[in-house]
Structure 1
Amino acid sequence: MTTWSILAALLSGALLAVSRDTGQLGWLVLAAPVPLLVVALRAPRARWIASLAFAAGLMAEAGPMWFYGRILPVIYGLAIAQALIFMFTVLFMRALHRRFPAAVAVLGFAVMTAAQEYLRSLVSPNGSFFALGYALVDVAPLLQTAALAGIAGLTFLAAVVPAGLALLCVRPRDTGAALAWSTPVLAALLYGFWQLAQPPGPSVRVALLSDDRYAGRVFHHPDAGPGIAAAFARQVAAATAHGPAAIVVPEKILAAGAVLAPPPGGVVVAGLDAPAPQGGRLNIAALYRPGAPVDTYLKKRMVPGLEEEYVRGTAELVTRVGGLPAGIAICKDMDFAQDLRRYGRRDVGLMLVPAWDFDRDAYLHGRMAIVRGVENGFAVARSASQGLMTLSDAHGRIVAERRTAHAPGMLVGDLPTGRGGTVYSRIGDVFGQAMAAAWLLLLATLAWRWRRVQASPARRM
């Protein structure tokens, strides 16, 4: 192990730490693994590469450990698991490079990265939370790939670019390797620019409200419920003066029985925390409409370790905002692509999302919801306690955004709606499934090639 090898791994780990799972510099994932991958492809032995890749992979999880370590200690175990997966992916690419054409190694790194994320999302209580593809949320042309292939498509792009750049350093004249990564990236860019040039749907005015002083208070102090409801009733009245078609109030901030007056011809969606009649608790998004009874949506996906007592919902809720179909979800629901795809299939053009973040993860978690909008062709109006109030269009562009605070907050904007019904919302995770199948095929081929080498006469001699 040389000094350069160690420095390369540390550089890759540092770049991954400020890009992957943090969001602010997400575009750096397109180059971050390159120094480590170059070392891995050139090294004569794999033992030290495994150590370096694990170290870089663990550094890459600095963001989640910083965001959630004080609240959810299990995150440290998940970070180690993520580092091990990254290590095996680097070793997988190295093994392919030594036994197959360089183009196979380039694609193999991206295929394994996308495949293992897709398979994990099927069983994980956090859905697609740790997906590499979320880092591309601010790379607007590449982000549009989500409308075709979902988060797996974004992850493939985020992995194939650095793999291709690493092979370009190792084998600069290998045309096959260059085409293997540049062709899908160029196709994604062309599609992305075309998508961004499409006209948006009709705009609706949306108001997002917040006040972090009340985040979670009704759970610990039920007697505070009436006072909190009165405070948000005043905020709703102030927002009504702006003529919104919808007003969104954060998750679990009001108690059961709270009454809010919707604007004329508009709706209010507010997060309620209430005891369940059969025991446990309910995390509710209440829908208030003029002259209509209150309708409710029950949160489907709970935060592991923090919401075990909450009863899970099973149904979607669709209303109309400005004459257009609008869906309702709550915070962590937006981490699960398969759930939100049901709204896309119903051609919903707008999602109204009460949420509650962990302050440090405001940017990261809010951007995940934006990807769901691109996947399914709907705009997202998300109001989060201890996070960001965000209005984003169906192409993932931020229309308006504001940080919440320990004071009344309001964000009002005219939000272009989407049209729903994207390719991804219709066909689902076909791309992710294809990646899983391709990965298994590569593994089987690699194992077959290794056995042939071990059984060869030259090897026995």
Structure 2
Amino acid sequence: MFTLLFPLIFALQVIAARKLTLTYRHWSAVFVLPVLVTTMEYISFLTSRDGTAGSIAYTQCDFLPVVQVAALTGIQGITFLVTFFPTAVALIIYRYQRNQSIRTLSLVTLSILSAVIVWGVVRLNHMSPATQSLRIGMVTIDKQAYHQQDTKGEDRDMYLANLYLRRVGELVKQGAKMVVFPEKMFTVRDNRRAGFIRQFKDTAIAHQIGIVACVTLQKGDYYENRAWVIGEDGTLLADYQKVHLFAGELLDSLKPGKEPGLFLRNGGTEGVAICKDMDFQQDISRYGSSNCNVLYVPAWDFERDGWLHSRMAIMRCVEGGYGMARNARHGRLTINDYCGRVLYEANSDNGTPALLSGNVNIQHHATLYNKWGDWFSLLNAIAALVSLLLLGYPIARSER
């Protein structure tokens, strides 16, 4: 049913757009399908347990000039454009074949597309000087380490912790000042939490480096997915609990958190989120609204979706106006800027060990989407309602 539902909804949207086009014969009918699709996606964003996953906007992740629209409208603006362009081409051909005027429609289509490309190119090339740059290091270990038969229970957790911490020195030699580990490095029982945090603090102090460690914390009969952010001086800057859990985590008795992972470091606001959190536009927008300068994201992908899930997270950075370092087991390790450019990338899709380091600017770029939120989606929702009213109660036909 889930597989059939979305194609069925899309087919109904196409039928509705076709009906209005044939009824009114006006060039403005070109907006009906984009408006309906954008509105339906927005509703799914607000109601689905998977957030923005499945949005057609993510097909444009590598087309950076178009991606910049997300800074104005959120990814809903990209969805609108992806459905607007083919609709416009189809309607231009349709009207031309019937000797109807295509001048206004062509002019509107070219104007919208030109404005989008110009805006994107200008934003990509307008780089304000960075006041501070941070070198970030990331590491994933071989997945076979999680299946060692000679280590079990607490000994296994300590073994995994040491495997990760041994790699810190290599990243320090590459100039790293912050190390981001992947999601669920190992499981920690609540009564051993302080000891593991002490181990990370000692490593941070010894190397004068910040650390973002993500573990599964066992509390009695339930679990929490926690990210600890530790400063260079050993201070625990944040103890963040993952807010959005996928279905398997809920079945495994994990409990979600509620608050964003914002903290102060060197006088600036930074943030931490975990994997699936980045699929949820409204929650992650709180980081941009709080003038977050950089976001650290431990993650764990499913091998086949490494590229897509990393790019979904990068879209949140374009909407929010900050850079990000994302480290995923069985996925991609990426460092990107506020425009969505992937500056550095490594691949651990197959569970192979990976090491990555690179610089990211520590600065916030205010966006219209940060200030006005889902204004574009609400505008589309109003237009969709008007379209449905016209479909149900047709008025006098226009021949223009």
Contact 1:102–1:176 (Cα < 8 Å) also in 2: no
Kept in 2, the 8 Å contact 1:329–1:354? The answer is yes
Unaligned 5+ runs, structure 1: 1-76, 454-461
- 1:432 maps to 377
Q: 122-131 or 268-277, which moves further after superposition? A: 268-277
Aligned length: 374
1:449 and 2:377 equivalent?
no
Match of 1:227 in 2: 159
Task: Please state whether the residue corresponding to 2:61 is helix, strand or coil.
Answer: helix
Q: Deviations over 1:346-405 (max 9, x none)?
A: 111211000000100111111100100000001111000000001111000110111015
Superposition map of 1:319-334 within 5 A? 319-320=263-264, 324-334=268-278
- Note the 1:62-211 alignment, pairs <5 A: 77-172=1-96, 173-200=101-128, 201=130, 202-211=132-141
**Is residue 339 from structure 1 mapped to residue 266 from structure 2 by the alignment?**
no
Are the counterparts in 1 of residues 204 and 234 from structure 2 also a CA contact under 8 Å?
no
| % identity of equivalent residues | 30
The answer to whether the aligner puts 1:385 opposite 2:309 as a matched pair is no
Pairing of 1:3-18 with structure 2 (within 5 A): none
1:358 maps to 302
Relative to structure 1, is the Cα distance of residues 417 and 186 closer, same or farther in structure 2, using a 3 angstrom cutoff? farther
Q: Which runs of 5 or more residues in structure 2 are unaligned?
A: none
- CA distance in 2: counterparts of 1:406 and 1:251, whole angstroms: 13
- Inter-CA distance 98–368: structure 2 relative to 1 (3 Å threshold): same
**Correspondence for 2:185 among 240, 243, 253:** 253
Task: Please give the secondary structure, in 1, of the residue aligned with 2:291.
Answer: coil
Q: How high is the TM-score relative to the length of structure 2?
A: 0.87
CA deviation digits over 1:271-325, x for unaligned, max 9? 1012134x32101111122231473100000112443421111112223556643
Q: Tell me: CA distance 1:248–1:353, structure 2 relative to 1, closer, same or farther (3 Å).
A: same
The aligned runs of 1:2-41 (5 Å cut-off) are: none
Shift of 1:174: 1.3
* Alignment partners' CA distance in 2, 1:177 and 1:417: 44
Q: Aligned letter for 1:295? A: A
Write the distance in 2 (CA, Å) between the matches of 1:90 and 1:216: 49
* Contact 1:356-1:384 at 8 Å conserved across structures: yes
Equivalence for 2:223: 281
Mapped partners of 1:358, 1:215: distance in 2: 17
Q: How big is each residue's C-alpha offset from its partner over 1:74-120, in whole Å with a ceiling of 9 and x where there is no partner?
A: xxx43321111221121122112101234333111110110000011
TM-score normalised per structure 1: 0.76
Q: 2:174 aligns with which of 231, 236, 242?
A: 242
Q: 1:122 to 1:407 in 2, by over 3 A?
A: closer
